[in-house]
Structure 1
Amino acid sequence: MTFIAKTKRYHEMPYNRCGNSGIKLPAISFGLWNNFGGEDTLENQRRMLMKAFDLGITHFDLANNYGPPAGAAEQNFGRILREDFSNYRDEMIISTKAGYRMWDGPYGDWGSRKYLISSLDQSLQRMNLDYVDIFYHHRPDPETPLEETMSALAQIVRQGKALYVGISNYNAEQTQQAIKILKEQHTPFIIHQAAYSMLDRTIENGLTDILEENGIGCIAYVPLAQGLLTSKYLNGIPKDSRAAKEFIPFLNERDISSDKLQKIKSLNEIALERGQTLAQMALVWVLQQKSVISALIGASRVSQIEENVKALNHSSFTHKELDAINDILL
């Protein structure tokens, strides 16, 4: 049976304008990174997407290599979109990316025009879409001229395969150069997806200033620092956690010092005083930062989505709280 969304789904979720563009993104967006592949059931994925949409989450973020295996997230999302959400496509912002290895040979990786356009064609086919709302270059290419990569994004917009474009994982200098090229090509560059959390404030080294000055929104990915900013690590590193598994490239035990664990415990004390979980406080903290318009969450079950959205019930900080947080982090 076709999904029927709740009529009051837009009543509680805040929507923030994305830079100088005409669109707004929900304060919480849903990313389909590691939990929408073959290892999870399609029914669980369907339940999470339905719950997210009922809670006012309209932005669903994918990439060509999301799964696992690569491509599976787009394929599964496309099937659920077709079977359950066909009436709601125009109420959604759907984004995807290309920039990491997808197929063998010299044309299946990085940032060439050949790769980006071919990859998006494949993504559209997997999702059964005519276009995506936002298409990102997923990471800078050290060998391909930036002019080629950016002109490929411009071409994709002209072809009607994407309405807007963005970049991800670019530093401040690379972002400034991309802004100049895309502005010259009259391409709607509206968003930068960057790692940003209480424990990773790298983009404060000038990138957020550039985004603010040029009217480009920032969507923060891994705002919970790969789970570090949750209750999971308050008593050390659990044996079944992501950090304890050596094959996880983004978070491992040797990266988690006793000093970092102490910071997490101290932050949790502030969260409890606010009547929030640590994860909820971490989400609303990142949403208070310069140029950030949305926090990108992942989930493996419905309850995680519900908990994260509840963070928005208490989204303001006192000066005392912010000072205490900075004393811990800086």
Structure 2
Amino acid sequence: MYQPAEDRYQKMTYNRVGRSGLKLPAISLGLWNNFGEPDSFENQRHMLQRAFDLGITHFDLANNYGPPAGSAEENFGRILQKDFAGYRDELVISTKAGFHMWDGPYGDWGSKKYLVSSLDQSLSRMGLDYVDIFYHHRPDSETPLEETMATLDLLVKQGKALYVGISNYNADETEKAVEILKEQKTPFIIHQASYSMLNRWIEDGLTDVLEDAGAGAIAFVPLAQGLLTNKYTGGIPRDSRAAKSHIPFLNEKDISEDVLNRVIQLNEMARLRDQSLAQMALAWVLRQGVVSSALIGASRVSQIEENVKALDRLDFTPEELAKIESILTN
């Protein structure tokens, strides 16, 4: 029977999410990849167990994670029952809805019909009464934002979610969502946004909106789908995500020589800091004050262990930050 490490809370940094009462581990674990039906269930168990032993208390899912869609939540629910049944109150579990989940007009986007049904299904798959955070996964231009935000408010009032957030919204959309939720007395506390050294779009207005709202961010793909690891410093390996055309967002044709040259320079900087490139990249994301947590993915335990070691060196000198900025912008 799994017994978590007694010193797990001594190994992790916990950051407050904006001005809310919630704290998240600086490193959280996402179940987007490697937790589906084709993946080893025992490896999934080992990764979640080791993550918790290292102080990672936040596990992030979505209704469509798999493959097939829904299977990551199902597997996570089985592992919760097997290994974490007595530790639910020590965990922050999140899920999302907003992308295609089932056929017909009610299985996608941001309607009340879809979001309520989706969360009910997610709770059933995971065997939970509530999630800690429920996100609308992407903006919907055809559904009034008032309807989508009112649904998030409803789910909190029904006790199915403790907190609500949004993902993939731009600065203007986020500002409007914040105002609507404020009127409904259900504060918006968190935005899940893609953010890395190679993808800095949130710095163009979104971080200001979040700071003004007293909200925080959790950064997904902080390692740019593996680009910000030493895996690519010698070119594109055959077993990488970039070489697998079915992996979204990162394809070999999208990786330019210029990007690889920047990665090589960043890797040398990390070496001088006695870190891996992945560790430095995570520390860099966490330097952004509004970012409460960096959301990593993993295919094996050793990756989780390496990423958590980023917390051993979170500080940057002004010279290091200037050098990184030069590499990224010149």
User: Are 1:310 and 2:309 an aligned pair?
Assistant: yes
2:159 alignment partner in structure 1: 160
Residue 143 (structure 1) aligns with: 142
Where in structure 1 are there 5+ consecutive unaligned residues? none
Opposite residue 151 of structure 1, the aligned amino acid is: A
1:201-220: CA deviations, max 9, x gaps? 01111001110111111000
Alignment-derived partner of residue 36 in structure 1: 35
Within the alignment, does 1:216 sit opposite 2:228 as a pair?
Answer: no
TM-score scaled by structure 2?
0.99
- Counterpart secondary structure, 1:243: helix
Tell me, which stretches of 5 or more residues in structure 2 are unaligned?
A: none
Letter in 2 for 1:48: M
Give how far 1:245 is off: 2.1
1:217-257 CA-partner distances (Å, limit 9, x unpaired): 10000000000000111011112221122232311112111
Is the Cα–Cα contact under 8 Å of residues 134 and 166 in structure 1 kept in the other structure?
yes
**Structure 1 stretch displaced more, 233-242 or 27-36:** 233-242
**How far apart in 1 are the matches of 2:94 and 2:243?**
31
RMSD between aligned residues: 0.7
Q: Deviations over 1:151-183 (max 9, x none)?
A: 000000000000000000000000000000000
2:229–2:276 Cα contact (<8 Å) kept: yes
Aligned to 2:9, the other structure's residue is in SS state coil
Q: Is the 8 A contact 2:26 2:293 kept in 1?
A: yes
Partner of 1:257: 256
Q: CA deviation at 1:262?
A: 0.4
Query: Could you tell me which residue of structure 1 aligns to residue 9 of structure 2?
Result: 10
Distance in 1 (CA, whole Å) between partners of 2:8 and 2:240 is 33
1:119 aligns with 2:115: no
Note if contact 2:153-2:186 (Cα within 8 Å) is conserved in structure 1. yes
Output the amino acid matched with 1:161.
K
| TM-superposed deviation, 1:4 | 1.3
Do the aligned partners of 2:178 and 2:187 also contact (CA within 8 Å) in 1?
Answer: no
The answer to whether the 8 A contact 1:237-1:243 is kept is yes
Higher mean Cα deviation, 34-43 or 130-139? 34-43
Question: Residues of 1 paired with 2:196 and 2:171: CA distance?
Answer: 17
- Which amino acid in 1 is paired with 2:238? K
Provide Cα deviations, 1:111-137, integer angstroms capped at 9, x if missing partner. 000000000000000000000000000
Query: 1:156-235 counterparts in 2 under 5 A?
Result: 156-235=155-234
| Contact 1:209–1:290 (Cα < 8 Å) also in 2 | no
Task: Determine helix, strand or coil for the equivalent of 1:10.
Answer: helix
Aligned residues: 329
Normalization by structure 1: what TM-score? 0.99
Q: Distance in 1 between matches of 2:297 and 2:68?
A: 17
Identity level (%) = 72
